[in-house]
Amino acid sequence: MSGVLLSVEDALVELPTPRGNLRAVDHVDLTVDAGRTLGIVGESGCGKTMLSRAILQLLPKKARLSGRVMFDGQDLTRLSPEKLRKLRGRSLAVVFQDPMTSLNPVLTIGTQLIETIQEHLALDLAEARKRSVELLAAVGIPAPEQRLAQYPHQLSGGMRQRVAIAVALSCEPKLLIADEPTTALDVTIQAQILDLLAREQRRRHMAMIIITHDLGVVAGRTDEVAVMYAGRVVERAPTPALFKQMRMPYTEALLAALPKLDAAPHTPLPAISGRPPDPTRPLKGCSFAPRCRYAAGRCNTDKPVLSRAETAEHLYACFHPIETTASGRA
Amino acid sequence: MLLPSPDPLLKVDNLVVEYSVGGKTVHAVSGVSLEVERGETLGLVGESGCGKSTLGRAVLQLRRAESGKVLFDGHDLTAMQGEALRRMRQRVQLIFQDPIASLNPRRRIGDIVAEPLVIAGVKDPAERRQRVHDVLSAVGLDPTLVAGRLPHEFSGGQCQRVCIARALVLNPEFVVCDEPVSALDVSIRAQILNLLEEMKTRYGLTLLFIAHDLAVVKAVSDRVAVMYLGRLCEVGPSEQLFARPAHPYTALLIEAIPVPDPDMKPTESVPTGEPPSPIAPPSGCRFRTRCPRADTRCASEVPELHPLAPGQLVACHHPLI
Ligand SMILES: Nc1ncnc2c1ncn2[C@@H]1O[C@H](COP(=O)(O)OP(=O)(O)OP(=O)(O)O)[C@@H](O)[C@H]1O
Ligand SMILES: Nc1ncnc2c1ncn2[C@@H]1O[C@H](COP(=O)(O)OP(=O)(O)O)[C@@H](O)[C@H]1O
Ligand code: SF4
Ligand code: SF4
Ligand SMILES: [Mg+2]
Ligand SMILES: [Mg+2]
C-alpha cells in the first residue's frame, strides 16, 4: 500500500503579536505516504506544533494560514468546519503532549471512548462498549473493564497517555499525529508508549507523524525525518540516510547535544550555544547562522533553500553542508 | 557502612519519610541509606513517584523524616531546629525541576537572586548587589540586562540559570539538583548540564543530582544510586553500573534510553506496567511485580543492599552479575 496520503504544500502560518508579525511556519513542504512514519524534530519554538495544527486545521483563531494541505484527496484548508470535525477523529487523529488536552476531565474514560466511537461509526452501545474494552486492552491498560468507570485524574500520566492513544485509535484513522507524546513522561514509560504507537501503526497500517525534540526518539521508529528550525524544514531524508550522513550543521548539532552512553562521566556536552532567533525578527541570511560553527560568506546575507543531496530523497538547506568524508566531526 | 569513605559530606542513614493521605500512609522513602563524598556528584535515578524529590527535601529538612538520620559534615540535621538549622541550610541548597514555576513571577530577577542573602542576614545593599552581579555573570547571564526584568521575560533555560544563580549566591557546599533539566529541550539541556559542571568546579560543590533519565545522570555523576518505590536498588560507580548493571531494574532503565541510531531497533522487551502504588507496596522486593527474574523468595524476603563488586552495592536476590 503506497501513494501519497498527506501533502503539505508551501504552508505558511503567521500570527499577529504585540511585537509584530510572527512567522511560525515558513514555506513548508511535506509528504507522508500511506502507512509510513515521519518524524519532525527541532527545538522548542521552532514551529513543530504550529505545523501540526496547520495540518489539523486547529490553528489559533487569529492565525493566518496559506498554502495547501492535501489529505486523502481533499484540500483541508477549504473544508467546512462540519466536514473537518467529521474528519478529525475519524481518518485524522491526534495525540498531544499533555493527555489532558485531548481528554475531558469531567467525563469517565468509558464515556469518552464510547462517544467518540459512536460519533463516527455506526455501532450500538454494547458494540461500542466492547470495542472500548478491546482498545484499552490493546494499549496496555490492565483491568480495562473497570477503567471505563474511572476519570482521567484517577490515572497516572502514562496511563492517561495510553487512554488518549486509545481514543485516537478508536476509529481506525489513516493518519495519527503524535505531538511530543512522551515528553512529559519518564524514560521507561516513554519507551512503552513509543513501542505501543509503533505496534499499532504497523498493525493498523496507518501513517504517523511523530513530533519530538529528541533525535533518539525518531531514530529507530520512523521511515523519514524532517528537521525544523525557525519555522522551516532545513533537512529531510529517509531515517537511515539521515543518520548515516547528516548534511545540515543544525541536525549534527542536535545529535551531538545528546548525552552519549559510551562517554565517560563529566565529558562536556557539545551544546548549541544561544537560542533560536526571535520569530518576529527574521534574519536576512540563514536562521542558524548566529549559532552555526560553519557559518561563513553568504550565510549571513542569503537564505539557503532546501535542495537535493546525492539522492532525490535527501534534502538540505545549507551553503556549507557537512561533507560526506567528514564523519569524524562530532 | 556503604562506602569506605571515613568522612563523607553527607550521610543519610536509614531514612524513612511518609505522607498521610485520606487516612492511608504513602511510603515515599522506606529506609534509604547513602553517602556523598566531598567533591563528588551522586546521581539519583528512578521513575516518577519513586521518592527522589521526597528524599531530596528530607535531606534539606524541608520535610521532616519519620525516622533515620541526615548527617551533614558530621552534624545531624534531623535533630536541629531554629537558628542552628537556618545556619546549616545556608550550606545546603536546592534547584527545582520546573524553573519557571519556582520563580516568583512578580519579583525582579535581581531581587530573586538576592533573597537568600537577605534571609541569611547580609545587610549591606552594596555587598548584596555585588554578589548578585557576580553570580549572575557566573551562570552566563548579563547582570545589567537581566537584574531588573521579570521571570516571564525569560525562556525555560534562562530561568534555570537564574535558579542556579539563586542556589549559589550563598556559596553553599552542597546542592541538591532535583531534575534540573527534565523540563528542558535537548539543546538547552546540554547547556545547563555543562553549566552545572562548570559551577561545581568553580564553587567547589558536592552535588546530589536527581533525574529519571539514566543517560543524563551518567553524564554528570561519579556514582549513581538507583531508586524504586522508596528503596535503593543499586549503587555504584557510573561507568561500572552502566557496563554491568546488577539489578534488573537498572537494566530496564538502561534499555529504555532512546538511542539515536537507526540500526539499534528498540527492543520492545521493556516490561509493560508501571510502578505499584506506594500506599500498598508489594511484599518482599518492591520491584517483583515487574521483574522478569522474580520468584517466591522475592515475594517473602526483602532484599537488602549488599556489596557485590568494588564500590557496587545491590539489593536483589538474583542479581544479573
Ligand atoms: N505532599 C504530599 N502528600 C502526599 N503524598 C505525596 C506528597 N508528595 C509526594 N507524595 C507521594 O509520595 C511519593 C513520592 O513522591 P516524590 O514526589 O518524592 O517522587 P519523585 O520521584 O520525585 O516523583 P516525580 O518525578 O513525579 O517528582 C509519590 O507517590 C507521591 O505521590
Ligand atoms: N497562540 C499563539 N499566539 C502567538 N504565538 C504563538 C502561539 N502559539 C505558538 N506561538 C509561537 O509560534 C512559534 C512556534 O510555536 P510552536 O509551533 O508551538 O513550536 P514547538 O511546537 O516547536 O515548540 C513560537 O515562536 C511560539 O512562541
Ligand atoms: S547555511 Fe551557513 S549558517 Fe546556515 S547551517 Fe549552513 S553553514 Fe551554517
Ligand atoms: S529481588 Fe527478585 S524481584 Fe527483586 S529485583 Fe531481584 S530478582 Fe527481581
Ligand atoms: Mg510543541
Ligand atoms: Mg520529583
Query: pLDDT by residue (tens digit) across A117-143?
Result: 998 888 999 999 999 999 998 888 878
Domain ranges of chain B: 106-171
**Does the pLDDT of residue A325 top 70, yes or no?**
no
Question: Is B127 exposed, middle or buried, given 0-12, 13-18 or 19+ CB atoms closer than 10 A?
Answer: exposed
The total number of residues shown for chain B amounts to 321
Task: Look at A219 and B212 and tell me if their CB atoms are within 8 Å.
Answer: no
Tracing cell 542576614 back to the chain, one arrives at B121
The whole-number pLDDT of residue A327 equals: 46
Where do the domains of chain A lie, and which CATH numbers do they carry?
1-78+179-189+204-261+268-284+305-330 (3.40.50.300)
Indicate the SS3 state at residue A295.
Answer: coil
**Closest atom of ligand 4 relative to the B292 alpha carbon:** 8
Shortest CA gap B85–chain A (Å): 32
Amino acid residing at B162:
V
- Among the residues of A139-281, which ranges form H helices? 144-147, 157-169, 187-204, 215-219, 239-244, 249-256
**Does the pLDDT of residue A34 top 90, yes or no?**
yes
Would the CB of B50 count as within 6 Å of ligand 1? yes
User: How many Å apart are CA A206 and CA A33, to the nearest integer?
Assistant: 10
What letters, b where the CB count within 10 A reaches 16 and e where it falls short, cover B278-290? beebbebbbbbbb
Please tell me the number of Cα atoms within 13 Å of A109 on its side-chain side: 28
Q: Mean pLDDT for each 10-residue chunk of chain B (321 residues)?
A: 70 96 92 97 93 95 96 96 90 89 93 95 95 94 92 88 95 95 86 94 96 92 97 97 95 88 68 78 95 96 95 97 90
- A233 contacts A50 by C-beta, under 8 angstroms: no
CB under 8 Å to B121, separation ≥6 — which residues?
none
Would the CB of B293 count as within 6 Å of ligand 4? yes
Residue nearest to ligand 4 atom 1, measured at CA: B316
The whole-number pLDDT of residue B251 equals: 93
Tracing cell 563529566 back to the chain, one arrives at A266
Report how far apart, in Å, the C-alpha atoms of A28 and of each of A23, A24, A52, A207 are: 12, 11, 11, 19
**Mean pLDDT to the nearest integer, A44-67:** 94
Shortest CA gap A213–chain B (Å): 6
CA B275–ligand 4 middle distance (angstroms):
14
- State the complex-level ipTM: 0.85
User: How many Å apart are CA A268 and CA A259, to the nearest integer?
Assistant: 9
Q: What's the whole-number average pLDDT of chain A?
A: 91
How would residue A329 be classed by pLDDT, with cut points 50, 70 and 90? Answer: very low
E-assigned strands of chain B? Answer: 10-21, 24-36, 41-45, 67-72, 75-76, 92-95, 174-178, 206-211, 223-228, 231-237, 306-309, 312-314
The whole-number pLDDT of residue A189 equals: 80
The whole-number pLDDT of residue A314 equals: 95
DSSP output for B118-163: HHTT---HHHHHHHHHHHHHHTT--HHHHTTS-GGGS-HHHHHHHH
Lowest mean pLDDT among A57-71, A107-121, A137-151, B23-37: A137-151
Task: Look at A140 and B261 and tell me if their CB atoms are within 8 Å.
Answer: no
